[in-house]
Structures are given as structure tokens and as C-alpha cells.
Amino acid sequence: MQLTTSTDENPLDRASAELGAICEGHDDLAPPFDAGSLSRMRAHIININHSVLASTQDHVNAAKRLNDFARTLARSSSHFEAQDGDLAARMAALSRTLQAAGEELANADAVPKWPAPALTLKTT
């Protein structure tokens, strides 16, 4: 039996996973968009995800933070466009994901219907 984590439908889980992959694959990035900064952004996204799935109390602040991260990633995508088109496209897509999640939180009075990271059992 193998434990896996399902993150297919939660935009913040997807964003966290993509940021992690970018950090692992691009540890040569230069500030202000270096792997350390992106890792810290990832930690904030993980915390925001836990917070918004637990309560509606922080949705306004979470939406603002996600939109700030989206703007930062949009700027970084244009920064990398000339040197690494694939990285730029990944950051632009990530920016859109975070912006959409932020808009969803800003326009809702309820806990999002996003699944929490759930352990699923796979038999091998």
C-alpha cells in the first residue's frame, strides 16, 4: 500500500506544487525572483491555504496576499521571458492561478469548496 496526496482540484495546492518544482529546477535564479524568495512565497501560500479552508475570517487578507503574489509572479515572468520562455510561461500561468483563487476568495462569504490535501490509499 502506498500513501499519496491528492492536490488536483485545489488551486493553492497546485500553486504550491508548481512553485516547489520551479524552485527545485531553477536554483540559479537571481534576486528578486530567486529560489529562496519563491520558497518563502510558497510557504505563505501553504499557510493561506490552511487558513482559508478552516475559516472565512482571513479571506480578505488572503485574497490581497494572493493578488500581491500574482502581480509579483507576472512581473517575474516578463523578467525571464527573454532568457527562459518556459519558466516565464510557468510563472505567468501560476500568476493567473493565484489571481483566480484570490478573486474567488474575495467574492465569497464561505469557505471555498476546494478539497483539503487528502491522503488516499493506493494498493500496489
pLDDT tens-digit profile of 13-65? 999 999 999 888 776 676 667 788 888 999 999 999 999 999 888 899 999 99
| Cell 462569504 -> residue | 109
Q: pLDDT at position 114, please?
A: 87
CA-based Rg of the chain, rounded to a whole angstrom?
A: 15
Query: For residues 123 and 72, what is the distance between their CA atoms, to the nearest angstrom?
Result: 41
Q: Each residue of 99-114: b (16+ CB within 10 Å) or e?
A: bebbebbeeeeeebeb
Q: What is the mean pLDDT of residues 90-106?
A: 94
Question: The cell 518563502 sits on which residue?
Answer: 40
Q: Please state, in angstroms and rounded to a whole number, the distance separating the CA atoms of residues 91 and 78.
A: 9
Whole-structure pTM value:
0.82
| pLDDT number for residue 90 | 92
Residues 6+ apart with CB under 8 A from 112: 52, 53, 104, 105
